[in-house]
Amino acid sequence: MVFTAILLSVSSAFAQENKFIKEYLERLERSKDYLILVAETMPEDKYDFKATKESMSFAENLMHIAWAMDWHSESLMGGREARNWETDVELKVDQKSKKEMIATIDYTFDKTIEFIKNFDTNRLEERLEYFGANRTKRQILLLLTDHITHHRAQMLVYMRLNGLKPPRYVLYQ
């Protein structure tokens, strides 16, 4: 009887973790679709637009999202050494065209989604340091989505500042 209770408890926790990942991936797919639509909607000649001198450009925000997805998944959660921001140009604007940046963000979302699909849910409770805070890997996933939303919101403001109407978010919830 005790063994059965333990087994049911473990099964329930595992099912909850799988449900969390399933729902998380669904949300990440929708976020990908919306971000790509935003990127496609902004004219290429406005990709260098910055709200202020100190701000990232529209293009830099887009590529920063790609960088963050790679870092949060592959490095923080997966343990791979982080890319060198100063020298690695794969996930930076560099000399990329709008089409190349959209392809990069699309690929990075797919790579991140695949990483999360294959992530061992038993490791979601593992803790690590995150900018001075101790966080679980589950929290890292949630922080990643917050980060994507944060930079995408800046991109939406840039669209408005350029007289463009952003795509409706409600269609991508």
Known binding residue 151? Answer is yes
With both helix axes pointing from N to C terminus, report the angle between 2-41 and 98-117 in degrees, rounded to the nearest 10: 180
Binding residues for a divalent metal cation: 64, 147, 151
Binding residues: 64, 147, 151
